[in-house]
Amino acid sequence: MADVVRYENLMQYLLLKNGNYLFKVPFRGGWAVLKNYYGSRSRFAYVKKTVCNLAYCNQTSFMPRGRCRTELEAMRIWREAGFRVFDVYEGAVVEGLTEGGYAMFEYVQAERFVTYFADTNVPIEEKLAMWRRFLPVWHRRHALAIERREPRLVHENGDMKHVMIMPDGQFLFFDFEMCYRSRERVHEAVAHEILAYLRSLCKVIGRDHWRRALEETITHYPDKKLLRSAYEFQFQNPNPVFRLARVFDRALRPGRRKFFSKYNVARRLREMIDAG
């Protein structure tokens, strides 16, 4: 039977507003996270972003119901592949919300990577040990995505903000409302994810330790060729249109020249791999 619930004043449970609305709500005698994909954007913004995603970005729909479907399907795929994601209360019905535009997840209280790796009270050796433990888990998913030609196994919004360290030692991944679409471009999608994670790691761990973090990655990530592809798809993309677009991107956008820009992190990663 479905769990039918109604919250008279849902805003009192607001947890986060970031385009979507996330609420920490009472449920089954405890707490759950209610995610409403009908967020604060206008319909025009949803349509505009969807057109861009489908036509140019190799990404799924940005429409609220589309993002809900995408996230639930991606979570199922990750869970079946053996990766920890939020449990979903599939039978939950919330009165007053649009059917197909929301989902109810387990509430998890655990430290995120972004907090852990930025914490100056955690010794750098402990941080690097945690990262070494993460790397084979990370690589296994990349290898599975490529082997299965499954773009939904790639973390489109992957970075230090979207991984939790669970008390039992597992890593919990979240935020799957957008996914890559093309089964022909999974290798490229993995390369983009690798670079996004490493750029995020370098920024969070800081200028004193970013080099050691990349050294640990190069030493312990099982596939150096795949690591190097993070550079190749930025600077040597086999598609001439994408390659030219990135030339203009690097030349015209001042932010691309920042110390931890994706291009500079990709360049340093390649140099360090090639230096052996």
For every residue of 41-57, DSSP letters joined together read S-HHHHHHHHHHIIIII
The whole-number pLDDT of residue 20 equals: 92
The whole-number pLDDT of residue 15 equals: 94
Give the total number of structural domains in the chain: 2
The whole-number pLDDT of residue 56 equals: 84
254 DSSP assignment: G
- Statement to judge: residues 66 and 186 lie in one domain: no
- Statement to judge: residues 167 and 267 lie in one domain: yes
- Statement to judge: residues 228 and 100 lie in one domain: no
Q: Checking DSSP bridges between strand 21-27 and strand 14-17, what pairing results, if any?
A: antiparallel
- Statement to judge: residues 170 and 268 lie in one domain: yes
Judge whether residue 259 has pLDDT over 80.
yes
The whole-number pLDDT of residue 55 equals: 87
Whether 199 contacts 260, CB under 8 Å: yes
Q: Where does a domain end: 55, 86, 106?
A: 106
- Statement to judge: residues 79 and 126 lie in one domain: no
152 DSSP assignment: G
- Statement to judge: residues 74 and 142 lie in one domain: no
State the Cα–Cα distance between residues 259 and 120, nearest whole angstrom.
21
Judge whether residue 1 has pLDDT over 70.
no
Compute the average pLDDT of residues 62-72.
96
> Of 105, 226, 95, which is closest to residue 176 (Cα–Cα)?
105
Percent of the chain with pLDDT over 90: 87
pLDDT band with cut points at 50, 70 and 90 for residue 44: confident
Q: Give residue-wise pLDDT tens across range 96-118.
A: 999 999 999 999 999 999 999 99
269 CB-near residues (< 8 Å, 6+ apart): 195, 198, 214, 217, 218, 227, 228, 230, 231
Compute the average pLDDT of residues 156-171.
96
- Statement to judge: residues 98 and 117 lie in one domain: no
Q: Where does a domain end: 106, 129, 159?
A: 106
Judge whether residue 2 has pLDDT over 80.
no
The whole-number pLDDT of residue 225 equals: 96
Other C-beta atoms closer than 10 Å to the C-beta of 2 total 9
- Statement to judge: residues 97 and 148 lie in one domain: no
Compute the average pLDDT of residues 18-46.
92
- Statement to judge: residues 268 and 233 lie in one domain: yes
What residue numbers bound the domain in which 62 lies? 3-106
Other C-beta atoms closer than 10 Å to the C-beta of 168 total 7
Q: Give residue-wise pLDDT tens across range 195-227.
A: 999 999 999 999 999 999 999 999 999 999 999
181 to each of 75, 153, 185, how far by Cα in Å?
15, 11, 8
- Statement to judge: residues 54 and 133 lie in one domain: no
Other C-beta atoms closer than 10 Å to the C-beta of 241 total 8
Q: Give residue-wise pLDDT tens across range 239-256.
A: 898 889 899 889 888 888
103 CB-near residues (< 8 Å, 6+ apart): 34, 35, 37, 68, 71, 72, 88
- What the block records as the tokens of 209 is 């330790």
- Statement to judge: residues 98 and 216 lie in one domain: no
pLDDT band with cut points at 50, 70 and 90 for residue 19: confident
- What the block records as the tokens of 202 is 């370098």
H helices of the chain, in order, are: 43-52, 64-80, 113-118, 124-148, 186-205, 210-220, 224-235, 240-252, 262-275
- What the block records as the tokens of 186 is 């999974």
> Of 128, 91, 115, which is closest to residue 212 (Cα–Cα)?
128
- Statement to judge: residues 139 and 194 lie in one domain: yes
Whether 265 contacts 196, CB under 8 Å: no
Compute the average pLDDT of residues 142-171.
97
| Residue 11: CATH number of its domain | 3.30.200
> Crossing angle, helix 240-252 and helix 224-235, to 10 degrees?
70
Q: Where does a domain end: 91, 106, 121?
A: 106
